[in-house]
Amino acid sequence: MESSSLVLKLERRLKHMKSMRGTFETHWQEVADYVIPRKNDITTYHHPGEKRNFVVYDDTATQSNNLLAGALQGMLTNPTLEWFELTTGDTEVDDQSDIREFLGRTTRKMHDIINASNFQTQIHEVYLDLGTIGTGNLAMIEDDKSIIRFMSKHISEYYIEEDNRGRVDTVFCEYRWSVRKIVQEFGMDALPKFIAEKFEKKPESEICVVHAVFPKADYSEIDTPHDIASVWYLQKEKYVIAEGGFRKFPFAVPRWTKISGEIYGRSPSMQALPSIKMLNQMQKTTIIGAQKAVNPPLLVNDDGVIQPVNTFPGGLNYVRPGIQGPAIVPLMENTRIDFGIQIIQEHRRQVREAFFVDQLQLRHGPQMTATEVMQRTEEQMRLLGPMLGRQQIELLSPLIDRLFDIMLRRKIINKEDIPLDLSEADLKVQYKSLVARSQRINEAQNILRAIESSAPFIQVDPSVMDNYDGDKAVRRIARLFSVPQEIIRDEEDIQDTRDQRSQAMAAQQQRQVASEEANINAVDAQTATQLNNIT
């Protein structure tokens, strides 16, 4: 494609996006230096393999962020659990046999596709970014082999904008790719002639490539039938490589928390940064103090020692005769290393609190029962729930929408299999992760407590139980506990089973009555025979 005015417009927009996040970059760099040094190339450049953790003397923040990322992965997207299910939002509609079967089958397919992809490795990087930078970016790319593959973007690679509702709807990614990689990605036919020349002479040379994804309505000249436009172009050469579009936004951009008026998120690391820096400085000072206490500087009399001072274990030092007092004495005594350690422990506690370490690690004694452990775990999950709700909206929902759309287009989900009473727009997502389950578990416990509290009245008058609809209560509790829908029977099946049971009981009663009548007749006949014999 020839150079066009579109590239100039996109470049002006990218320049504005860069200026809007300029103040964030120094903050991110400082956070990355102390918490996640392997990603601290935001405002500075590091060569591959170069040492990066120059300022880290205490790894409490790094370990806490790793723990937080692992906990998020276990609580929100545990690969061993079905952490979401499709629903219509209407329990009566969900209970219809054909709809329930379709929802259950489709949910299992989606989980299988996600688990077969590289999702778990890439989502962990997103969780690490959330704890440090406060903003993550997960690209969801259609793949011929695995249907979908994921790629976590580094904050130095992308720029974002929001729409009027506060949702991220624009992502510009800026890469430095080798000529070889560009040719592999787009093919030689889509590239200008100078790329072919570079490919022949120096394929390892790098060129700046930009991928812009934004609403099609922003630029009328984009030729795509979809609502989301996609443009690849060479930045320096102002050359459009490819134009296209997406039906669903191909990026999930979660923020840990966000201040009104800002686009990028804020993280626990930013909140704890003063304590993290203080902790590192105090650790450095304490290390120096410990070295001085163990190997203190020496005070030596002038010309009091014949040879250089020997500080090795068992070393001999020769002093001149006539020296008043010891010729060699420690310069510093009574160094209070313990006081520095106490302050360090306090700052470590503050850092761990910022990363919710106490909530993530269940502390209990051997006297706790399994029920108590479960209840405390649920309480901790509820405490974390409000902070993780944003991740369900900004991270998980776009992921599921994107995957469902890909499955529809590739006919992994056939539109013919969708029940007549159900359309794509009717589908919603219900999360079944530990956090979501803990948030719903309280309602189930309230139902059970209400029935349990009614037990004394039911014992006095069993008709009190008529106030409760047992079937609805059981089905509601099953949903709250995230019981798989396929093991719950249809209401029609339940009624058929009950009818068969009633018929069987009626037949049994008839047989019992007939047997009793036969026994009575036999006894009457025997009695009559005995009377006849007497007479």
- Residue written as token pair 């709250």: 480
| 410 vs 340, residue with greater confidence | 410
- Residues 179-190 have pLDDT tens digits of 999 999 999 988
| 333 vs 124, residue with greater confidence | 124
Q: Report d(CA 183, CA 189) in Å as an integer.
A: 9
Residue 101 included in any domain: no
| 6 vs 340, residue with greater confidence | 6
Per-residue pLDDT band for 465 (boundaries 50, 70, 90) equals confident
pLDDT value of residue 535: 59
- Residues 16-53 have pLDDT tens digits of 999 999 889 999 999 999 999 999 999 988 888 888 88
Q: Report d(CA 127, CA 69) in Å as an integer.
A: 5
In 132-144, which positions are buried (b, 16+ CB within 10 angstroms) versus exposed (e)?
bbbbbbbbbebee
- Residues 466-487 have pLDDT tens digits of 888 888 888 777 777 767 666 7
Structural domain including 509 reads: 492-535
Residue 235 included in any domain: no
Residue 258 included in any domain: no
pLDDT above 90 covers a percentage of the chain that reads: 38
Please state which of the ranges 259-263, 343-347, 428-432, 516-520 shows the lowest mean pLDDT. Answer: 516-520
Residue 296 included in any domain: no
Angle of CA points 121, 126, 132, to nearest 5°: 130
What SS3 state is found at 279?
A: helix
pLDDT value of residue 372: 64
Residue 402 pLDDT greater than 70, yes or no: yes
User: Would you say 378 and 401 are in contact if contact means Cβ atoms under 8 Å apart?
Assistant: no
- Residues 243-273 have pLDDT tens digits of 999 999 999 999 999 998 899 999 999 999 9
pLDDT value of residue 471: 80
Element of type H or E holding 390: helix 370-391
Residue 330 included in any domain: no
Residue 457 pLDDT greater than 90, yes or no: no
- Strand segments, DSSP code E, in 268-365 are 298-300, 328-330
- Which region, left, alpha or beta, applies to residue 49 given φ > 0 means left and ψ of -120 to 50 means alpha? left
Residue 526 included in any domain: yes
pLDDT value of residue 171: 97
Residue whose C-alpha is closest to residue 101's, from 402, 422, 406: 422
Per-residue pLDDT band for 128 (boundaries 50, 70, 90) equals very high
**Joined tokens for residue 501:** 């049971």
- Residues 312-339 have pLDDT tens digits of 777 777 787 766 667 777 766 666 777 6
| 470 vs 205, residue with greater confidence | 205
**Dihedral of alpha carbons 489, 490, 493, 497, sign:** positive
The upper half-sphere exposure of residue 366, i.e. CA atoms within 13 Å in the direction of its Cβ, equals 0
Residue 35 included in any domain: no
Residue 533 included in any domain: yes
Per-residue pLDDT band for 1 (boundaries 50, 70, 90) equals very low
Number of domains within the chain: 1
**Joined tokens for residue 363:** 């502390």
